[in-house]
Amino acid sequence: MIRMNGFRWIYLVIGILCLYACKQAPKAEQQSIEMPAGATPVPVQISDMNCFAERGQFFVTGVCNNTTNQWQRIWLRMEPSKRDGKAVYVQGERGVVFPVFSTAIPPQGRSAFFQGWDGKLFSGVPDTCNVVCAGAVSVEAGPILLVEQKSMVRMVTPAVTGKEPQEIGRQFSAVVSNPLDKPSQHPCVEVLLYGNDKRLWFVSTLDLTQEQPSLHQDGQGDIAPGTKRRFSTEITYNNLPAMLVAGKIGAMDALAFEKR
């Protein structure tokens, strides 16, 4: 089984922020890793899954729901196939293992994923795929971060006589809340982009401990117990998936986690 770390290559296009917070793709990078000894599959639910081929690569995205009663670090396995059900292999293997973004998902909590592979690694061009839990390890409990008061504003080009304004992206803002008694020393946010077709097309992360030109916050560093932090950022259509660019962003969501 091939195991890869997909966290390093992700590409969120957020203005200048991309230079600091995100790994851009169209170029997918593979790094073989092994899950920790003792990692075993646990019950999960995969929601909002979408997969597509573009720019010579194959992408999969979705949300992993931890349905256990324990904190978990979770790895998933993507198994590609043709539309008729015929298996597609990746460097001779049936599946590829990769982690979700959060390294510590609370009981009944969620974390998203967005992963891509060079199309040359596949025995054929996949039409679809199946994603299951490859393994997980229990981890210590930590802060549970909530994302509240989410809002999105359409960004357009300046008005010019004789020309219709063009949509160039969205401005997104939300509040991260740390309601329990544990400090969040390294808060991060997963940003999910849905098209007007209701499909999830793109996910990446923002590190709220880093100073970034296009990330605006009303605080810095850790988030103390019982406190909240508002943030906002701008998202442009540069280098986003072609189907999302064509159909435009219809909705956005965000999940927060403590990076470990």
Identify the CATH number of the domain in which residue 234 sits: 2.60.40
Secondary structure letter of residue 143 according to DSSP: -
Answer yes or no: do 134 and 53 share one domain. yes
Answer yes or no: do 20 and 85 share one domain. yes
Q: What is the pLDDT along the chain (260 residues), one digit of tens a residue?
A: 444 444 333 333 333 333 333 333 334 444 345 799 899 999 999 999 999 999 999 999 999 999 999 999 999 999 999 999 999 999 999 999 999 999 999 999 999 999 999 999 999 999 999 999 999 999 999 999 999 999 999 999 988 877 888 999 999 999 999 999 999 999 999 999 999 999 999 998 999 999 888 899 999 899 999 999 999 999 999 989 999 999 999 999 999 999 99
Answer yes or no: do 33 and 65 share one domain. yes
Alpha carbons within 13 A on the beta-carbon side of 20: 14
Answer yes or no: do 130 and 179 share one domain. no
DSSP secondary structure string for all residues of 194-214: EETTS-EEEEEEEETTS--TT
Residue 40: domain span = 2-138
Find, among 258, 259, 257, 207, the residue nearest to 233 by Cα.
207
Q: From CA 8, how far away is CA 117, in angstroms rounded?
A: 12
Answer yes or no: do 9 and 86 share one domain. yes
Answer yes or no: do 81 and 41 share one domain. yes
Question: Percent of the chain scored above 90 by pLDDT?
Answer: 78
Number of domains composing the chain: 2
Answer yes or no: do 184 and 223 share one domain. yes
Answer yes or no: do 81 and 113 share one domain. yes
Letter string b/e over residues 226-241, b meaning 16 or more CB atoms within 10 A of that residue's CB: eebbebebbbbbebbb
Answer yes or no: do 6 and 27 share one domain. yes
Longest CA–CA span in the chain (Å) reads 65
Answer yes or no: do 224 and 251 share one domain. yes
Domain boundary among 105, 138, 171: 138
Domain boundary among 138, 167, 184: 138
Answer yes or no: do 134 and 92 share one domain. yes
Q: Phi then psi for 127, rounded to 5 degrees?
A: -100, -25
Token pair recorded at residue 35: 């899950």
